[in-house]
Amino acid sequence: MPAKNPMPEVATSSSDDSARQVLRCPDCLGPVLGSTALECSSCATSYAIEAGIPVLIGRASQLNTSEVETQDHVSDQYNGVRYKRSTSVKYHEDTMEQLLELAPPRGMVLDDGCGTGAFLEFVRRRRTQVERYVGIDVSRGMLSHAQRRLKAAGGDPLLVQADACRLPFAENTFDVVYARGMLHHLPDPARGMQEIRRVLKPGGVAVVLDPNETLLSRLPRYLARRTDHFDDDHKSFRASELERLVKDALTLGETRFYGYVAYPLLGFPDLIDFDRLGISRLAGGLMRLDRIFGVLPGIRRLGWGVMMSARK
């Protein structure tokens, strides 16, 4: 699929080749070898490396091309507005912090649906001792921004264009998998969860975060879906539905709800810019209020989003 944002030319290095040793053919899971391109040693399928990023989407993938095109389309707005506006960045980093509270990064870490690389950049700033960070996304537009963002931050995570329903990694590869706002984009979320289970090591932890459909969020989300930010297949789970997806693959740990007042007012200036009303002056108080709502019985389940930890 053509990239919305052409990627810069990137020279390969021995460190790139070493990092790619974890990669597998997405169709047969055989090892893939090569420097300027990759070839599966089992089925002989060839895969390109474009501007330093392996493209590991196999023949067996059944992508929703409209959803991929939508993500390519919005990648500029995510990178230039959502993850650049100071109040929005503070809000999303508060949510990222909660993900790390549920599962601190360790060992081999996968950002499953890494988008523009904002989460990988945030985690790296924590200076946690991690063997390697890996990020995958199906959108070339998102990956082009992730590549530039992480290079500017001095990082070298392995970025791969891949299908989250057919992850190009061997079983038992990762200690921690983060899937932040990813499952609801997939044509088959259950398959995506089973893939997370497959690539997790025994005892490994996954954290998933996705929208939570409630009576309060249903109408605003319906209206938002009429914009060019959303494909027709864009999903919104009830918390019980997401819990079932997670439980079918892993042993459920902690569940947190998040996003009450601050979520719609601060988190999405690329959709509605409340900064024009001076809302940024209230950002700190709104985020503290959201944290309080997140632990209040009866109210907590009304959060716009839900995150869950689970163990293999």
Q: How far apart are CA 238 and CA 300, in angstroms?
A: 14
pLDDT of residue 148: 95
Tell me how crowded residue 4 is: count the other CB atoms within 10 A of its CB: 18
Locate the DSSP E strands across the chain.
Answer: 32-33, 37-40, 46-50, 53-56, 107-112, 130-137, 158-162, 174-180, 200-211, 251-258, 305-311
Q: Is the pLDDT of residue 16 over 80?
A: no
Q: Which of 199-203, 244-248, 261-265 bottoms out in mean pLDDT, i.e. has the lowest?
A: 261-265
pLDDT at 234 over 80: no
Q: In this structure, which topology does domain 53-311 adopt according to CATH?
A: Rossmann fold (3.40.50)
What is the reported pLDDT for 154? 85
pLDDT of residue 12: 44
pLDDT band at 223 (very low <50, low <70, confident <90, very high): low
Residue 32 buriedness (CB in 10 A; 0-12 / 13-18 / 19+): buried
Find the mean pLDDT for residues 217-221.
Answer: 65
Mean pLDDT of 256-278: 88
pLDDT of residue 1: 42
Instruction: Indicate the domain borders of the chain.
Output: 53-311
Residue 4 pLDDT: 42
Residue 34: pLDDT band by 50, 70, 90 thresholds?
very high
Closest C-alpha among 309, 289, 307, 308 to residue 299: 289
Question: For residue 82, is pLDDT > 70?
Answer: yes
Helix (H, G, I), strand (E, B) or coil at 50: strand
Three-state SS for 205? strand
Tell me the average pLDDT across 50-75. Answer: 91
246 and 193 Cβ atoms separated by less than 8 Å? yes
Strands in 53-56's sheet, in edge-to-edge order, are 32-33, 37-40, 46-50, 53-56, 158-162, 130-137, 107-112, 174-180, 200-211, 305-311, 251-258
Q: Is the pLDDT of residue 275 over 60?
A: yes
Share of the chain above pLDDT 90, in %: 71
Highest mean pLDDT: which range of 106-120, 122-136, 207-221: 106-120
Look at 40-54, 138-152, 224-238, 250-264 and tell me which has the smallest mean pLDDT: 224-238
Closest CA to 179 of 158, 200, 150: 200
- The reported pLDDT for the residue numbered 128 is 81
First to last CA, the chain: 34
List 31's β-bridge partners, or say none.
24
What pLDDT is attached to residue 225?
Answer: 59
**Chain-centroid distance, C-alpha 19:** 20
Contact between residue 303 and residue 213 where contact means Cβ atoms under 8 Å apart: no
Nearest to 98 by CA among 178, 153, 159: 178
